[in-house]
Chains A and B, each alone.
Chain A
Amino acid sequence: MRSLRKLSPGNVSLGKVWLGKVWLAAVVINIFLSGLCIANGHVPADVKLAQDQTFTYRVLDEFTSVDPQVVEDVSGSEVVRDLFEGLMNQDADGKLVPGVATGYEVNEDNTVYTFALRGNAKWSNGDPVTANDFVYAWQRAADPALASPYQWFVELMSVNNAGAIIKGEQPVDTLGVKALDDQTFEVTLSAALPYFPQMTTHTTTFPAPKNVIEKHGDEWTRPGNIVSNGAYILTEHIPGERSVRERNPMYWDNENTIIEKTVALIINDENVALTRYLAGELDRTEVPSGQFPRLSKEYPEEAISFPRLCNYYYTFNLSDTGPEAFKDVRVRQALALSIDRNIITEKILAGGQSAAYTFTPAAVAGFAPPGVDMAGMSQAQRDAKAKELLAQAGFSADKPLTFEMVYNTSDSHKKIAVAMSQMWKQKLGAEVSLSNMEWKAFLEARGNQGFELARGAWCGDYNEPSTFLDLLDSESGYNDGKFASENLDQLLEQAKLSTDASSFYTRVEQIIAEEMPVIPVYHYAGVYMMGSDVGNWPVNNVQQNWYSKNLYKIAE
């Protein structure tokens, strides 16, 4: 999460993004996936593989940990998904495929999941991976003594007693996980969660080697000490410079692994990273904002852009400390209407981002953006309506609307804020002052309602609209603008219990369009330079959960 502040808006990655909550069939008897073949490691017959199967990519910042239960940043999670393997994996489209588990059963009320583990899964030291490794890992994740920043994830999964264990009210061995035998892992949930299996692709749930952790303590994740059960083992880690992982011969599906070695180079500056990519040192890097049009002309095979599960917005402070003017819905609407989003996406960002008229990105699974009025109007119509609304609200040339907008320090946020404030000045005569804050100070101010209009961005934790819409729930800890609508809260509550939630989400978006507690600006795109010899990059996985074992390098 901490890495966001340095990212350009073209390629955000807020927080550890976890896995698609796809609504699985609610009628569940026995779902066994063991018969499915994993297609994504296969190479098309006409492809000639390169001699050197090394994949080298850039990461922005040193990741904070590769301990599966502790890791919290995107770049660390990418490493952990290669080093360890959980119960389930994701394929190139983000769909669920077997990992250590070959499949699972669930009881009638969706509260007890029983995973069957494959017998040939091994740790890199040759020990078998057993259900007890999962029991240990899950208890470890919830353990107050480990104090993982992702402790809450166990509670989010609704594992029985997780909440009480985190609070220290109950011992960790009361957690609702059990090893029925070496190859059967049972989870008991406190609430029905039909999308629970999707959550087992998240790194927090990956197994952990108990004896290794007890032997080496916090230093167990260092090369030489670390023992892992994924397709790769960590062989080198030079903080601030590089991290190298190499093929794990003990991995159960090792014969289908093609990439021999994956190298993560830490390069803070995105322009330097681009230069090094062009010099052939990298197979993948992010495109700095504004450079996509030039690069896609020069390197049409390599510059790629695809939708991501992230939005960019500004939130009004609707709490008591917020300005009086923003409590008038006409003012909020006027401000939202008069932004020409196409100028921002096409002239400033220019990386395939899309203008946002809803809070939820259209790329989210199971979400059809509702036809909100604003999306259907021309910009001239929007501007005319904005002027009218603001005049009705009592603002004029003699009495202009004045407020302050705040964003975290970054060149691209600044460009966007300047453009927005100019549009408001020209069209509405509003006097807007801009202010930027260092990341942590910004979070502190926004979290404590110390702002008038503040920038926000959110990446979906899972591939389902509620991961965005929950932000506007009046009870949400992330609702920094303190918008409160009983109607909206109820709809979100009903959506959770419904088997067809999409109509509820459409109505929530309509409330947002009417009440305008936030101004959606644009939806993110993943904008990369990717070597044309890299095969099988999962561009259709909107959460960008990728596994080195599914990639390959093509001979050129």
Chain B
Amino acid sequence: MLAYTIRRLAGSIPTILVLIVASFFLMRLAPGGPFTSERPLPPEVLANIEARYGLDQPLWKQLWDYLLNIILRFDFGPSLVFKDRDVSDIISQGLPITLTYGLLTFVVATVVGVSLGVYAAMHHNTWVDYLAVSLGIFAQSLPNFIMGPVLILIFTLWLGWLPGGGWNGGQWPYLIMPVIALSTSYIGSITRITRSAMLEVLNSNYVRTARAKGLSERSIIWRHTLKPTLLPVVSYLGPVFVYVVTGSVFVDIYFSTGGLGQYFVSAALTRDYSVLLGITILYGVLTVIVNLLTDLAYAWLDPKIRL
């Protein structure tokens, strides 16, 4: 398994390189640049600014310097928009915030979703099941950009229980609404996936055999059905994990958390090339790692899968 992990990680280096090169050129294809503005800068001022950031060099040279800086110094360059901050400053400020609410969201969505799904499957075709399914569909159809403003309206304006936004070092009153907003739709999907996977497993031959043997329902659920049920759930959770820990632009916008998701989108709009590329690389690396973890989790859940 160690050999497999090392092999996979080594194999991901070309992937990341392709990602960097492709993103680098794609960004430059977009019309306008970081210094395009409503009031066009006089050419000599623009030339000074471009010289300062090395944007006057040919593209291949810029790419080469960029890669060298990363490899030799782990330096992702200065932001082209925020004058006193480097890309690494922005990432090291935004990533902990994003990771905090992202991981919490992931845990909440998984625990609540799987529990609801399992519970519904165990009470198949009863009112409990119908309620769980309808709640699931309802939750799934509530994207976070709807949840955000609605939650603020209810909990901040009407009830006055929670602050309407901000982060304050991640104190819990500031975390509740972002986590609810971001996890709702995932809870819905996870519930539905878990329920249908569980139903399939419960109807399988080996569960019937276990029941015939007289095993307790508790032991059947916990020892024999939960692991195989989780297989399809895990394949769904992998991408969800990457998605939530890289942050949600909507959560950042509605709750002013200062997370990374918002920088990713605003960097694209303001053509802050270095920030955009830095965050893209971060997301790329995270995706590679999470894919690997997902595959390792498969092997643990299903002995038939050999790595």
Contacts and interface: CB of A to CB of B under 8 A. Distances in A.
B287 to A, nearest CB: 24
A166 B254 contact: no
B41 A440 contact: no
Contacts of A444: 31-32, 36
Interface stretch (B66-74, B81-89, B111-119): B81-89
Interface string B147-172: 01100110011001001111100000
Interface stretch (A202-210, A215-223, A494-502): A215-223
A17 to B, nearest CB: 11
Nearest to B164: A276
A149 interface: yes
18 contacts: A1-B37, A2-B81, A14-B38, A64-B83, A145-B52, A147-B49, A219-B84, A240-B94, A240-B252, A240-B262, A241-B257, A268-B262, A272-B149, A275-B157, A279-B164, A440-B33, A444-B31, A477-B42
B31 A272 contact: no
Contact of B257 (A151, A155, A240): A240
Given A2-B270, A64-B81, A276-B164, A441 B39 contact: no
B160 A272 contact: no
Given A265-B165, A267-B165, A441-B31, A239 B254 contact: no
B35 A276 contact: no
Which 3 A-B residue pairs are closest in the complex by CB-CB distance?
Answer: A440-B32, A240-B258, A276-B164
Nearest to A480: B40
Contacts of A152: 41-42, 45
Interface in A84-121: none
B38 A265 contact: no
A4 interface: yes
Interface in A433-448: 438-441, 443-445, 447
Interface of B: 30-33, 35-42, 44-45, 48-49, 51-52, 78, 81-85, 90, 93-94, 148-149, 152-153, 156-157, 160, 163-167, 252-254, 256-259, 262-263, 266, 269-271
A217 B224 CA distance: 63
A240 B251 CA distance: 12
A370 interface: no
B253 A269 contact: yes
A295 B171 CA distance: 33
A394 interface: no
A79 to B, nearest CB: 13
Interface string A150-173: 011001000000000011100000
A478 interface: yes
Contact of A147 (B39, B51, B148, B163): B51
Contacts of B40: 447, 477-478
Given A275-B156, A441-B30, A239 B163 contact: no
B256 A267 contact: yes
A278 interface: yes
B153 to A, nearest CB: 6
A438 B30 CA distance: 10
Contact of B258 (A14, A167, A239): A239
B269 A440 contact: yes
Contacts of A1: 37-39
Nearest to A61: B266
Nearest to A169: B44
Please indicate which of the listed interface residues A2, A5, A478 has the most CB atoms of chain B within 10 Å of its own CB: A2
B45 A166 contact: yes
Contacts of A144: 48, 51
Given A67-B83, A149-B45, A276 B156 contact: yes
Nearest to B51: A147
A371 to B, nearest CB: 31
Contacts, number: 150
Given A15-B38, A440-B32, A478-B39, A266 B81 contact: no
B249 to A, nearest CB: 9
A226 B272 CA distance: 25
Given A4-B38, A149-B35, A240-B258, A281 B149 contact: no
Interface centre among A5, A64, A218 (most CB of B within 10 A): A64
A29 B37 CA distance: 41
A278 B153 CA distance: 10
A238 interface: yes
B39 A15 contact: yes
Given A218-B78, A218-B84, 10 more contacts: A65-B82, A240-B252, A242-B166, A268-B253, A272-B164, A276-B165, A278-B157, A281-B164, A440-B36, A447-B40
A271 interface: yes
A275 B48 CA distance: 43
Contacts of A287: none
Contacts of A67: 83-84
A177 interface: no
B41 A149 contact: yes
Contact of A445 (B31, B44, B152): B31
Contacts of A221: 84
Interface in A12-57: 14-15
Contacts of A15: 37-39
Contacts of B44: 166-168
Contact of B48 (A4, A166, A242, A272): A166
Given A265-B256, A272-B165, A65 B149 contact: no
Interface string A60-75: 0110110100100000
Contacts of A242: 166, 256
A298 B37 CA distance: 39
A203 to B, nearest CB: 14
B256 A240 contact: yes
Contacts of A220: 84
Given A219-B84, A265-B256, A269-B253, A439 B31 contact: no
Interface in A225-249: 238-242
A152 B48 CA distance: 11
Contacts of A4: 38
Given A268-B262, A281-B164, A445-B31, A239 B269 contact: no
Contacts of A167: 44
B246 to A, nearest CB: 15
B152 A238 contact: no
Given A15-B38, A144-B48, A241-B166, A65 B258 contact: no
A477 B44 CA distance: 14
A62 B263 CA distance: 10
